[in-house]
A and B are shown apart, each in its own frame.
Chain A
């Protein structure tokens, strides 16, 4: 099968952050990483390999070495690379001389769209032979987000297929993809094992796939909503090796589009449910909700891409929706009115119960510079949305945003254009807020 998928999973357990690289078929990269870690210098292994090939052609003796760089390797690395190649040649009986020699070695540090290539042209008199070695590009590690802003992001996982939704469950993390559900189960030793459960459904995908994940009412399974399809996922308990299973059926039931926790007051918690929820009917052949919601908001809603529940007074919520016409409106008290200050909002936003300012903000996507989107928190007062944070740059286009189960973070999927020669990648980020 031709498609390769590589998952990188980052999970925060308590205060410890640690990485686990899970390659579905990317064994080459894993091998490269291991070699990279084992060597004192990232250039040691390719230098040794190239020197061995050169020595194989040249045999013991003297040679003049020239080095040129037409790759993206920084110029500052060249002296070290040259030294490493010279040392490796020396170890194999080839002495590099600065004087004229009948033997000339011209090493070119080159690259193509996927990998680096070190090429040696070995000239002995009028004869030239060419040898070359592949050099994997170093894995890109995300830079930590700027701690000086209110919104912070943390990468949860990356993949090269769209992640429509993801959530934590007691044993790990579940990711909803268009064709499958990926379950990452945390083992007793802290490592993760991945299990992919194909989704068998009759409805064709849409080109802007949407989906949601939520725990079931009894908390023993996870429910997934996809256009025209509802699935139930049974997952193994934490640190066990049980099998995860998924069952899907056609469904036109409304999706639990927006859920918000009902905050406790300073007094005893009043009786009643701990969350409030709005369900909405999704158009399975398109990428939007029809406008019909349960419970009714007392006013006809237009078709919309998504929405968020915003607490107003105790147990009263307003529903903010992003219409397919690009307008953001707020449904409240049986009226639907435009929400001002939302001109640069994208289609994806979610409520964030930060505890800051009014307690809950809406985190909305918008276009940032250089083709990348940003997320920004907005305080909604009356019919005005006022920026409550500076924009948080994301590493690409926000393709989905949703609230976490406790409402205290917003999760977002960000699509980053593929590096040259590779597909787009998708990163799921958890965005939280600190109060200034």
Chain B
């Protein structure tokens, strides 16, 4: 299975496919529509306006961004990242190591993967009591994007300021306007502007795409088949997310047999085939096969009898289950509740953030399995350093995590976008966001 590569799925033989390939044109406004918020964690605008010290290349490898090089010392307890010179924020102020340190400290407060971060001449130095083998990959995450002074100090009257390819130029009528930054260290993007219409229902996004009112819209995994039937031009990234169930360890759930019974009760194949319309892969592992190569060792089969056995005479307390997100996530929660009831659990689907079980979509980032696992665990709120440097050690680490049954993998899901025919060279980055800075628009005939 291909992974970490943005695959352009031309579902239909579009006329453009036969056209000559010319260099990308400068100019034009790219119109994007999304269902969520542009500035939320992982939001599209954050990736366009801000940069990290490192970034994921299209293939998933970590690359220099605001840092041009780095080195670790003392068995990965100390890392030094040298800052790229002559980088400026969009307001014209130079990027300094102090800016970077301030931004990083604000990003994770007391929950950082390092113990301290400080500036040292042209470098930023991270130290920790425990090794940080995957710090370059962690720093490519959305969480550690470097925001400018204005945004870092909470005064967003002029919009957030970063060093990215686009700068905020306005927000009105639900449309966030971004303008190309001529001074971007990576070069000016090809399009002049990006307009992001936020909080737009997916069906409205698709309507706007078909009417020529949008250039880029979201395609949820469960809608990819419909997109195919409608001959949309889809760019997708397989194995972009892990759908997983988080289970607590406190109270009655401290009994691991109960948690194991829950894991064995869920019919993952039905989730993949029915709810996600055969676009997901049933998962018994945290990392997908395409990343680890050993995922097949973890069974994703439903074993209802075994679940009953494990539950035995234990009287499980009433369970609450909450799903993060809407649409298919809510349907999936209902389906899981049904499965659990079949195993003898008393389950109620709720919207409460304090539910016993939480259905979440966790990011799978990069092409290196150990850092990807660490990022995933961090996103799940179960941070753990993953220092395995070979597949056997990584398998053991993952097996130990799974045996705790506090994070129950269900499906590996793709992420996808659909674009209009005038969008060229659109790729998805390894963090699943469309790379709009390197995309361009066809010249109108």
Q: Which A residues contact B (CB, under 8 angstroms)?
A: 1-4, 70, 108, 110-117, 119, 121, 130-132, 134, 202, 204-209, 285-288, 305, 322, 324-326, 343-348, 365-367, 371, 373, 397-398, 417-418, 420-424
Residue of A114, A285, A345, A421 near B188 (CB, 8 A) is A285
The answer on a CB contact under 8 Å between B296 and A110 is: yes
Bound complex: CA of A110 vs CA of B391, how far in Å?
12
Q: Which residues of B contact A371 (CB under 8 A)?
A: 8
The answer on a CB contact under 8 Å between A112 and B293 is: yes
User: Which of A117, A121, A345 has the largest count of B CB atoms less than 10 A from its CB?
Assistant: A117
The answer on a CB contact under 8 Å between B61 and A2 is: yes
Q: Which B residues contact A (CB, under 8 angstroms)?
A: 1-5, 8, 17-26, 54, 57-64, 69-71, 86, 136, 182-190, 289-294, 296-297, 367, 369, 390-392, 395, 437-438, 443
Can you report 29 A-B residue pairs in the complex whose CB atoms are below 8 A from each other? A1-B71, A2-B54, A3-B61, A110-B293, A112-B290, A113-B2, A113-B367, A114-B367, A117-B294, A117-B391, A119-B294, A119-B297, A130-B294, A132-B294, A202-B86, A204-B188, A206-B187, A207-B188, A208-B23, A209-B187, A288-B23, A365-B21, A371-B8, A420-B1, A420-B290, A422-B367, A423-B58, A423-B59, A423-B61
The answer on a CB contact under 8 Å between A207 and B438 is: yes
CB distance from A257 to the nearest CB of B (A): 14
The answer on a CB contact under 8 Å between A2 and B190 is: no
Q: Which residues of B contact A205 (CB under 8 A)?
A: 186-187
Q: Which residues of A contact B293 (CB under 8 A)?
A: 110-112, 115-117, 119
Q: Which residues of B contact A113 (CB under 8 A)?
A: 1-4, 60, 290-291, 367
Q: Which residues of B contact A397 (CB under 8 A)?
A: 21
The answer on a CB contact under 8 Å between B184 and A204 is: yes
The answer on a CB contact under 8 Å between B20 and A324 is: no
Bound complex: CA of A245 vs CA of B443, how far in Å?
42
Given A2-B136, A3-B64, A346-B22, are A325 and B59 also a contact pair (CB < 8 Å)?
no
CB distance from A413 to the nearest CB of B (A): 13
Bound complex: CA of A408 vs CA of B57, how far in Å?
37
Bound complex: CA of A78 vs CA of B253, how far in Å?
47
Q: Which residues of B contact A3 (CB under 8 A)?
A: 61, 63-64
The answer on a CB contact under 8 Å between A108 and B21 is: no
Query: Besides A110-B293, A130-B297, A134-B390, 19 other CB < 8 A contacts?
Result: A3-B61, A112-B291, A204-B183, A204-B185, A204-B186, A207-B24, A207-B188, A207-B437, A288-B23, A326-B443, A367-B18, A367-B19, A367-B20, A397-B21, A421-B5, A421-B367, A423-B57, A423-B58, A423-B59
Q: Which residue of A lies closest to B367 (CB)?
A: A421
The answer on a CB contact under 8 Å between B23 and A2 is: no
The answer on a CB contact under 8 Å between B3 and A421 is: yes
Residue of A1, A131, A347, A418 near B59 (CB, 8 A) is A418
The answer on a CB contact under 8 Å between A204 and B392 is: no
Q: Which residues of B contact A366 (CB under 8 A)?
A: 20-21
Q: Which residues of B contact A70 (CB under 8 A)?
A: 296
Q: Which residues of B contact A2 (CB under 8 A)?
A: 54, 61-64, 70, 136
Q: Which residues of B contact A111 (CB under 8 A)?
A: 293
CB distance from A378 to the nearest CB of B (A): 13
Q: Which residue of A lies closest to B8 (CB)?
A: A371
CB distance from A256 to the nearest CB of B (A): 19
Bound complex: CA of A233 vs CA of B357, how far in Å?
64
Q: Which residues of B contact A367 (CB under 8 A)?
A: 17-21
The total of Cβ contacts below 8 Å across the A-B interface reads 150
Residue of B3, B57, B292, B395 near A130 (CB, 8 A) is B395
Q: Which residues of B contact A208 (CB under 8 A)?
A: 23-24, 190
Q: Which residue of A lies closest to B439 (CB)?
A: A207
CB distance from A340 to the nearest CB of B (A): 14
Bound complex: CA of A207 vs CA of B435, how far in Å?
12
Residue of A4, A115, A134, A305 near B23 (CB, 8 A) is A305
Q: Which residues of B contact A287 (CB under 8 A)?
A: 23-24, 26
Given A2-B54, A70-B296, are A130 and B22 also a contact pair (CB < 8 Å)?
no
Residue of B23, B59, B290, B297 near A424 (CB, 8 A) is B59
Q: Which residues of A contact B183 (CB under 8 A)?
A: 204
The answer on a CB contact under 8 Å between A207 and B190 is: yes
The answer on a CB contact under 8 Å between A324 and B294 is: no
3 tightest A-B CB contacts, nearest first = A117-B293, A112-B293, A418-B59
The answer on a CB contact under 8 Å between B64 and A347 is: no
The answer on a CB contact under 8 Å between A286 and B26 is: yes
Q: Which residues of B contact A114 (CB under 8 A)?
A: 367
Bound complex: CA of A117 vs CA of B290, how far in Å?
11
Bound complex: CA of A2 vs CA of B67, how far in Å?
11
Q: Which residue of B lies closest to A373 (CB)?
A: B21
CB distance from A212 to the nearest CB of B (A): 15
CB distance from A32 to the nearest CB of B (A): 15
Bound complex: CA of A116 vs CA of B290, how far in Å?
10
The answer on a CB contact under 8 Å between A424 and B58 is: yes
The answer on a CB contact under 8 Å between A347 and B21 is: yes
Q: Which residues of A contact B17 (CB under 8 A)?
A: 367
The answer on a CB contact under 8 Å between A1 and B296 is: no
The answer on a CB contact under 8 Å between A110 and B23 is: no
CB distance from B25 to the nearest CB of A (A): 7
Q: Which residue of B lies closest to A323 (CB)?
A: B22
User: Which of B292, B294, B391 has the largest count of A CB atoms less than 10 A from its CB?
Assistant: B391
CB distance from A50 to the nearest CB of B (A): 11
Q: Which residues of A contact B4 (CB under 8 A)?
A: 113, 420-421
The answer on a CB contact under 8 Å between A398 and B21 is: yes
Q: Which residues of B contact A324 (CB under 8 A)?
A: 23, 25, 443
The answer on a CB contact under 8 Å between B443 and A325 is: yes
The answer on a CB contact under 8 Å between B22 and A305 is: yes
Given A367-B18, A367-B20, A417-B5, are A112 and B289 also a contact pair (CB < 8 Å)?
yes
Given A4-B61, A286-B26, are A420 and B189 also a contact pair (CB < 8 Å)?
no
Given A132-B392, A206-B187, A421-B60, are A346 and B21 also a contact pair (CB < 8 Å)?
yes
Bound complex: CA of A131 vs CA of B396, how far in Å?
10
User: Which of A108, A119, A344 has the largest count of B CB atoms less than 10 A from its CB?
Assistant: A119
Bound complex: CA of A325 vs CA of B25, how far in Å?
9
The answer on a CB contact under 8 Å between B69 and A1 is: yes
Q: Which residue of B lies closest to A1 (CB)?
A: B69
Residue of B25, B58, B188 near A418 (CB, 8 A) is B58
Q: Which residue of B lies closest to A325 (CB)?
A: B443
The answer on a CB contact under 8 Å between B5 and A420 is: yes
Given A113-B367, A114-B367, A421-B60, are A207 and B186 also a contact pair (CB < 8 Å)?
yes
Bound complex: CA of A183 vs CA of B186, how far in Å?
25
Bound complex: CA of A401 vs CA of B332, how far in Å?
52
Bound complex: CA of A254 vs CA of B56, how far in Å?
36
CB distance from A202 to the nearest CB of B (A): 7
User: Which of B182, B183, B292, B297 has the largest count of A CB atoms less than 10 A from its CB?
Assistant: B297
Q: Which residues of B contact A365 (CB under 8 A)?
A: 20-21
Q: Which residues of B contact A325 (CB under 8 A)?
A: 443
Q: Which residues of A contact B185 (CB under 8 A)?
A: 204
